[in-house]
Amino acid sequence: MRKTVLQIGLAGFLLVTIFALITPGGVKRARFQTARIEINAQGYQPVNVRLRRGVRARVTFVRTTDLTCAKEIVLPDFNVRRALPLNQPVVVSFTPQKKGTFAFTCGMNMMRGQFIVR
Protein backbone atom coordinates (compact mmCIF):
# COMPACT_ATOMS: atom_id res chain seq x y z
CA MET A 1 0.00 0.00 0.00
CA ARG A 2 2.74 2.44 0.94
CA LYS A 3 4.66 1.55 -2.20
CA THR A 4 1.58 2.20 -4.36
CA VAL A 5 0.98 5.63 -2.81
CA LEU A 6 4.64 6.52 -3.38
CA GLN A 7 4.46 5.37 -7.01
CA ILE A 8 1.28 7.37 -7.65
CA GLY A 9 2.83 10.46 -6.05
CA LEU A 10 5.98 10.09 -8.15
CA ALA A 11 3.94 9.58 -11.34
CA GLY A 12 1.89 12.70 -10.57
CA PHE A 13 5.02 14.74 -9.95
CA LEU A 14 6.52 13.59 -13.26
CA LEU A 15 3.34 14.43 -15.17
CA VAL A 16 3.17 17.93 -13.71
CA THR A 17 6.87 18.49 -14.49
CA ILE A 18 6.54 17.27 -18.09
CA PHE A 19 3.38 19.34 -18.61
CA ALA A 20 5.12 22.47 -17.29
CA LEU A 21 8.03 21.93 -19.68
CA ILE A 22 5.92 21.44 -22.83
CA THR A 23 3.46 24.28 -22.30
CA PRO A 24 4.45 27.71 -23.69
CA GLY A 25 4.59 29.29 -20.25
CA GLY A 26 6.77 26.47 -18.96
CA VAL A 27 9.55 26.78 -21.53
CA LYS A 28 12.55 28.51 -20.03
CA ARG A 29 14.26 31.23 -22.04
CA ALA A 30 18.00 31.64 -22.18
CA ARG A 31 19.34 33.67 -19.27
CA PHE A 32 22.23 35.05 -21.30
CA GLN A 33 23.96 34.75 -24.65
CA THR A 34 27.68 34.64 -25.27
CA ALA A 35 30.06 35.65 -28.02
CA ARG A 36 33.84 35.74 -28.37
CA ILE A 37 35.63 38.33 -30.48
CA GLU A 38 39.35 38.13 -31.17
CA ILE A 39 41.29 41.23 -32.10
CA ASN A 40 44.21 40.24 -34.32
CA ALA A 41 46.28 41.87 -37.08
CA GLN A 42 43.32 41.58 -39.49
CA GLY A 43 40.92 43.32 -37.08
CA TYR A 44 37.89 41.97 -35.24
CA GLN A 45 37.15 38.29 -35.81
CA PRO A 46 34.22 37.99 -36.33
CA VAL A 47 33.37 41.50 -37.42
CA ASN A 48 29.59 40.87 -37.24
CA VAL A 49 28.00 39.32 -34.15
CA ARG A 50 24.32 38.36 -33.98
CA LEU A 51 22.50 38.84 -30.67
CA ARG A 52 18.93 38.43 -29.46
CA ARG A 53 16.98 41.41 -28.20
CA GLY A 54 16.12 41.39 -24.49
CA VAL A 55 18.63 38.65 -23.57
CA ARG A 56 21.69 39.60 -21.52
CA ALA A 57 24.87 39.36 -23.61
CA ARG A 58 28.32 38.42 -22.33
CA VAL A 59 30.84 39.26 -25.02
CA THR A 60 34.46 38.28 -24.47
CA PHE A 61 37.09 40.33 -26.28
CA VAL A 62 40.65 38.99 -26.57
CA ARG A 63 43.39 41.14 -28.12
CA THR A 64 46.09 38.85 -29.52
CA THR A 65 48.27 41.41 -31.28
CA ASP A 66 50.03 44.64 -30.43
CA LEU A 67 50.11 45.69 -34.11
CA THR A 68 46.76 47.55 -34.16
CA CYS A 69 45.27 50.55 -32.43
CA ALA A 70 42.67 48.36 -30.70
CA LYS A 71 43.97 48.83 -27.17
CA GLU A 72 40.43 49.40 -25.90
CA ILE A 73 36.89 48.52 -26.91
CA VAL A 74 34.07 51.04 -27.15
CA LEU A 75 30.36 50.22 -27.43
CA PRO A 76 28.88 53.72 -27.73
CA ASP A 77 25.22 52.61 -27.82
CA PHE A 78 25.68 50.70 -24.56
CA ASN A 79 27.89 53.29 -22.81
CA VAL A 80 30.84 50.88 -22.51
CA ARG A 81 34.57 51.63 -22.78
CA ARG A 82 37.12 49.06 -21.58
CA ALA A 83 40.87 48.61 -21.85
CA LEU A 84 42.01 45.48 -23.70
CA PRO A 85 45.24 44.12 -22.19
CA LEU A 86 47.23 41.90 -24.55
CA ASN A 87 46.20 38.21 -24.43
CA GLN A 88 43.78 38.71 -21.54
CA PRO A 89 40.04 38.11 -22.00
CA VAL A 90 37.80 41.06 -21.17
CA VAL A 91 34.11 40.29 -20.65
CA VAL A 92 31.59 43.00 -21.45
CA SER A 93 27.99 42.46 -20.30
CA PHE A 94 24.97 44.36 -21.56
CA THR A 95 21.36 43.73 -22.59
CA PRO A 96 20.36 44.86 -26.09
CA GLN A 97 16.83 46.26 -25.77
CA LYS A 98 16.18 47.29 -29.37
CA LYS A 99 16.51 45.54 -32.71
CA GLY A 100 19.07 47.02 -35.07
CA THR A 101 22.76 47.31 -35.83
CA PHE A 102 25.08 48.64 -33.13
CA ALA A 103 28.77 49.42 -33.64
CA PHE A 104 31.74 48.46 -31.53
CA THR A 105 35.03 50.22 -32.21
CA CYS A 106 38.56 50.69 -31.01
CA GLY A 107 39.29 53.77 -28.91
CA MET A 108 40.34 55.73 -32.01
CA ASN A 109 37.18 54.73 -33.94
CA MET A 110 39.33 53.26 -36.74
CA MET A 111 38.57 49.53 -36.34
CA ARG A 112 34.88 48.74 -36.43
CA GLY A 113 32.55 45.80 -35.96
CA GLN A 114 28.85 45.48 -35.32
CA PHE A 115 26.28 43.71 -33.23
CA ILE A 116 23.19 42.73 -35.22
CA VAL A 117 20.29 42.48 -32.79
CA ARG A 118 17.16 40.58 -33.85
Instruction: Supply the pLDDT for residue 27.
Output: 54
The neighbouring-strand residues paired with 37 are: 61
Give the start-to-end residue ranges of the domains of the chain: 1-29, 32-117
pLDDT in tens, 27-66: 556 699 999 999 999 999 999 999 999 999 999 999 999 9
pLDDT in tens, 59-90: 999 999 999 999 999 999 999 999 999 999 99
Which of 27, 60, 26, 58 is CA-nearest to residue 46?
Answer: 60
- Domain 32-117, CATH: 2.60.40.420
Q: Is the per-residue pLDDT at 2 higher than 70?
A: no
At residue 25 the predicted structure's pLDDT band, cuts being 50, 70 and 90, is low
Q: Is 15 left (phi over 0), alpha (psi -120 to 50) or beta?
A: alpha
The neighbouring-strand residues paired with 118 are: none
pTM (2 decimals)?
A: 0.74
Distance CA 93, CA 60 (A): 9
